Amino acid sequence: MGSYTIFSDVILKIIEEFSDGFLILGQSGEILFFNEVLLRITGWKSMDILAEGNSFLKYLDLDDCQSCERMVEIPDPAGNLKLFSAASFSIEGDNGDYCLVRIKPDMGQESENLLKQSYELLFTNIGDAILTVDLNGRILSANPSFYKLIELEPGALPPDISTLYAYKEELHDKLIRLLKSDTVFNLETHLYTKGKNIKRILDSSWVIRNERGIITGYTAQFKDISHIKNLEARLRISERSYSILFDSVLSSIIIVDPFGRILNWNYTAEKLYGFSWEEVSGQYFDHVFQRDKKSLSLSKIFELIKKNNGRYIETEVPRSCKDGSVKYTYASYSSVKNSMNEVIAYSIMEKDLTERVKLENKLRESFEQIKETQSATILGFARLTEYRDKNTGKHLGRIREYTRVLATSLKERPKYKDYITNEYIEDLCLSSVLHDVGKVAIEDSILLKTGKLDPDEYNRIKDHSKLGGDALSEVDNQIKRESFLTIGKEIAYYHHEWWDGNGYPEGRKGEDIPLSARIVALADVYDALTSDRPYKQAFTHEQAVDIITSERGTHFDPEIADAFMMNHEIFRRIKMFNEFEENPETIDDLLAGQIKSLSCNT
């Protein structure tokens, strides 16, 4: 990304105002960037240039990158040679020297005259100020946009260019740069207008030489950026929001080039697999993550993507992590194309299914324990969790994630560091989904009622906590060892108890309420507030935060409420991306801008 940062403004200028082909070469002669005009006038494809870069560069006859222009012959895909004019320029960047190469077709003298007329027309009508200056600082010519920029009458040129500069050191710095590299791009400069107002300018200048190669002056292009600073601030906010979105998506996102080399990934991928960015950048995806030879290689997946209209999905894919462990993921692969309909990258978005696999293993262990105790009651009870309305699955998934956030935050506090272990968090998250299991015994006429409940109906609803706790307690008692159901029965019994003692079913108060139930209580209330129910519409996140904050120390454990306030933005993201993760294909539109940028660094 570094090289793109150096040349981004230059590239935009070339693309917007010129029709020549351009290459940018790094210090070692590697191709860092080429524009689509180059592909159009030469007939080469981007994949061919990426794969055969050295072959393409040989046709340009680049012994070095000194400022020079030459005629070269480049074959098209059919092998026919075409004549081009190639000019190269040395550019100094923050990280070293780079070489800019301009390529345009040879058009002959008549075409050159037409081109000269076109440039004269451009000089007159371009919106940016253009002027030429001799070595003494005298302005030799200027276009109408220059007079408009400086607020001068046409023809009323100032006696010396230095009189326009609000800070003389900016002019001095520019001249030193010009002498060293012949060109400067987008130097931020401050110029006086006739009324002594200061305008902020982007200055791009290049030297003028006579037929003997001696510098006689320079040409400057001034772009007024005073009026767009507010837009730039908004753009920075937008970019920051995009970066936050990219890095806060709860699924792993990895971008690879058409050869399967890793270009970029988000924060979730880094945490999921344990590798640092430096360890994977430029590495082949298969070499890093492919678990075994039975797994499909990326090359095979790329073929399947072509056959399936640009998308392909795998489930329960084993991935290798840095520590040697295995993660199982739901993987969605998508191709990304440029404006010429060429594939320039692939996005691999993966949702971690490892927790689900662990849950399945624990459930299998529970079933084995049930078989050992010959308890038909437990089998019957296990089926109760399947009796839910259509939104319960999403609700339970959110409750589990909210619970994990709160428990992980509390783990960092000295009071809980020995009590809240990783195993406890896993068992807590697993058992949290059983908090309302007792509702399966509540009549639909009451449970799904859209209107206000009468006192008898409300008391019947409150029975679900005892019903669920009793059922889980009965199952847990028949298992030979402590299981996640031990925590589950605590949660089922007491997740409606209040910190100040005004809850139910027992009116417990403070730390007499099990920690597991106090954590799930807050998670359940937040989800209830922000979800549509038969009897109400969802509150906004902000309204839910205000309600929970107001009930700190009454309804909720103050420490757990504080943990929620420290992490409420994560709650918002979990809620926001719940539907997004069920439709992972929508990530491509969000990635389009970044993928185009990444292609410049391939």
What is the overall mean pLDDT for the chain?
A: 80
Q: Quickly count helices (H) and strands (E) in the chain.
A: 23, 15
pLDDT beyond 90 at 546: yes
User: Is the same domain home to 426 and 549?
Assistant: yes
Domain boundary among 201, 224, 247: 224
pLDDT tens across 59-82, in order?
A: 887 776 666 678 888 898 888 888
* pLDDT attached to residue 461: 86
Q: What is the pLDDT of residue 468?
A: 86
**599 pLDDT higher than 60:** no
Residue 9 has pLDDT above 60, yes or no: no
- Domain annotation covers residue 561: no
Per-residue confidence band for 516, with pLDDT thresholds at 50, 70 and 90: very high
Domain with 73, as residue range(s), is: 2-106
Peptide linkage before 505 cis (omega within 30 of 0): yes
- Say if 99 falls within a structural domain: yes
Question: What's the mean pLDDT in 300-305?
Answer: 91
Examine the domain organization and report whether 241 and 215 are in the same domain.
no
Same domain for 14 and 44, yes or no, is: yes
pLDDT of residue 2: 37
Least confident of 78-92, 236-250, 255-269, 525-539: 236-250
Q: Residue 380: pLDDT above 50?
A: no
Q: Quick check: 450 and 533 in contact, CB under 8 A?
A: no
User: Which comes out higher in pLDDT, residue 506 or 121?
Assistant: 506
Average pLDDT over residues 268-292: 85
Q: Choose the weakest-confidence range: 14-28, 166-180, 476-490, 545-559.
A: 14-28
Q: Which of 224, 247, 276 is the last residue of a domain?
A: 224
> Three-state SS for 524?
helix
Is 182 inside any structural domain? yes
- Here the CATH number for the domain that contains residue 304 is 3.30.450.20
How many independent structural domains does the chain possess?
A: 4
Q: Give the Å distances, CA to CA, from 76 to 84, 102, 104.
A: 12, 18, 14
SS3 content of the chain, % helix, strand, coil (to 5): 50, 20, 30
Give the pLDDT confidence score for residue 249 in this predicted structure. Answer: 62
Q: Are residues 344 and 373 in the same domain?
A: no
Selected residue with higher pLDDT from 560 and 209 = 560
Confidence band, pLDDT 50/70/90 cuts, at residue 240: low
Q: Give the best-scoring range by mean pLDDT among 109-118, 174-183, 314-323, 492-501.
A: 492-501
Taking the model in full, what pTM does it have? 0.39
Mean pLDDT within 350-366: 77
Q: Does 22 map to a domain? A: yes
Pairing of strands 311-320, 96-105: unpaired
Where is the domain boundary, 51, 83, 106?
106
Same domain, 420 and 551: yes
Per-residue DSSP letter, 552: B
Instruction: Indicate if the pLDDT at residue 370 is higher than 70.
Output: no
Same domain, 58 and 123: no
> What are the Cα distances from residue 264, in Å, to 49, 95, 229, 298, 411?
21, 21, 29, 16, 32
Return the minimum-mean-pLDDT range out of 102-106, 115-119, 349-353, 376-380. Answer: 376-380
- In this predicted structure, what is the pLDDT of residue 117? 65
* CA–CA separation, 252 and 256 (whole Å): 13
pLDDT of 443 above 90: no
For the cut 50, the answer to whether the pLDDT of residue 93 exceeds it is yes
Asked if residue 252 and residue 204 are part of one domain, the reply reads no
Q: Say which range, 30-34, 390-394, 414-418, 587-591, has the weakest mean pLDDT.
A: 587-591
- Residues 125, 91 share a domain: no
Statement: residue 508 has pLDDT above 60: yes
User: Percent of the chain having pLDDT more than 90?
Assistant: 24
Domain harbouring 408, CATH code: 1.10.3210.10
Token output for 513: 């309420």
- The closest alpha carbon to 492, from 438, 435, 441, belongs to 435
pLDDT attached to residue 410: 95
pLDDT beyond 70 at 371: no
Are both 196 and 324 inside the same structural domain?
no
